Amino acid sequence: MIEAINIRIIAVGEWLARRTRRLAGPIGLVLLLAFTATVAAAAWAFPIFNWDMFAYLAAAHEAPGVSVEALHRHAYDAVRQNAPAGDFIVLTQDRDYRVRQYNDPEAFLTMLGFYRVKLLYVEAISWLSTLVDPYTALRLLSVVPAALTGVLVTVWMARERALHLAPLAIALLLVAAFGESAREGTPDMLSAMFFVAGMLAFVARREALVAALLFGAFLVRPDHAAFIGVLWFVSLFTRTFSWGAFVAFFAALIAYVPITQAAGHPGWWTHFWFTHVEFVPTLEGFDPDFSISVYLYAIVRVIVRALVEETWLAIVIVGCFAWWQMALRGIDFSRRETTVLVTTLLAMAAKMVVFPLHETRFHLAYVIVFGLVLICALRDLRFLPEARTGQRVS
């Protein structure tokens, strides 16, 4: 009896799927756009208040004649006026480091070198602050890029005739913590927007756009230089040479030192120590000696935390397994798609060696592109058996 009911349910499901097959693309389009709109609305209505907002607001407000005290007051007042009281207390009182930053403008100033290097993000906050209040400017630079990134994912799927696989793309974005990144006051969504657009241009062979968009991603987050360089290098071996990636990489190389020096960045090892060993209260006179044991321990610790606390490694592992299985079944990738997949794995490994970071938001742009290439390769896969002659559901 139960088996007969199950067979009937499956038959009805197959019948409905066959009747609506031609609507799968439009339905997928609606689902992706609805998901994007939902994330953008939720990100605007329910923001996450993180400490980095203070530093970005201060860096964007810097100008000749503005005192350290005025910068400090501007940043903290902007957040205080918009954050719930409980969140503001957590951001200013829950650990010694935050207490010191809240009470000591000079110590706070020494931290800004970590943030000024995100040049395009800081300048965008500064420019938008002439149109709206600084806090709103910072929020817009997460919410609007999140919405545009969702649109870019939709365009990518449509270009590859894979809109019927929209549920897989939505699942990818959910697991990649896309919504959480949209709620943060950080440059991650803006850099992801530039990066996804640049990689879509790469797949479409629009080299001028590749150069401009990937360089834009670098200006938002300079650590993208590693991916851009690996992309150009891999494209040589896969015979898909991209002069756009070449231009973006060498422009990034030329700009990197002037940007970091102008920003007052304290240097790689000091930044590494601060991130992985100790949040020192001030960087004034702080210059720790290099330690190979500290360096190796940090890499192991980041990998373990990524496995236990985050989701980006899960996406990479599942993606690699899917890629292997697809290769065994003869599912083809274009040379440019293969270049993207190989580059993603190599670049993420390179970043883990140079400056390991466990949080998914730092890898968001990479896992989105990696997942989209794999999902779109399934566009011609048949999920339903051929209908049998005379089959009907009564």
Q: Would you give the DSSP letter of residue 330? A: T
Q: What is the pLDDT at residue 256? A: 96
Q: Would you give the DSSP letter of residue 85? A: H
Mean pLDDT of all residues in 241-259: 96
Q: Tell whether the model's pLDDT for residue 4 goes beyond 70.
A: no
Q: Tell whether the model's pLDDT for residue 223 goes beyond 50.
A: yes
Six token digits for residue 135 = 């806090």
What confidence tens digit (pLDDT) does each residue in 135-181 have? Answer: 999 999 999 999 999 999 999 999 999 999 999 999 999 999 999 99
Six token digits for residue 197 = 């657009």
CB proximity list for 177: less than 8 A, separation 6 or greater: 311, 360, 361, 364
394 pLDDT tier (thresholds 50, 70, 90): very low
380 pLDDT tier (thresholds 50, 70, 90): confident
For the chain, what is the radius of gyration of the CA atoms?
Answer: 24
CB proximity list for 45: less than 8 A, separation 6 or greater: none
What's the helix, strand, coil split of the chain in %, to 5?
Answer: 75, 0, 25
Which of 187, 177, 221 is closest to 309 using CA atoms? 177
Cα separation, 212 vs 251, in Å, equals: 10
Which of 188, 145, 132 is closest to 44 using CA atoms? 145
Cα separation, 133 vs 82, in Å, equals: 11
389 pLDDT tier (thresholds 50, 70, 90): very low
94 against 121, higher pLDDT: 121
CB 89 within 8 A of CB 48: no
Indicate the domain borders of the chain: 145-376
What confidence tens digit (pLDDT) does each residue in 279-302 have? Answer: 999 999 999 999 999 999 999 999
Residue type, 138: L
| HSE of 34, CA atoms in CB hemisphere, 13 A | 8
Six token digits for residue 245 = 């990636």
| HSE of 5, CA atoms in CB hemisphere, 13 A | 2
Geometric angle at alpha carbon 321, from 319 and 324, rounded to 5° = 110
For the whole model, what pTM was predicted? 0.92
Q: Cα separations (Å) of 108 from 97, 112, 287, 341?
A: 10, 7, 17, 40
3-state SS assignment for residue 62: coil
CB 335 within 8 A of CB 240: yes
Six token digits for residue 97 = 């480091």
* H helix and E strand count, the chain: 21, 0
Q: Tell whether the model's pLDDT for residue 9 goes beyond 80.
A: no
Cα separation, 153 vs 175, in Å, equals: 15
Q: Does an H or E element contain 157, and which? A: helix 134-159
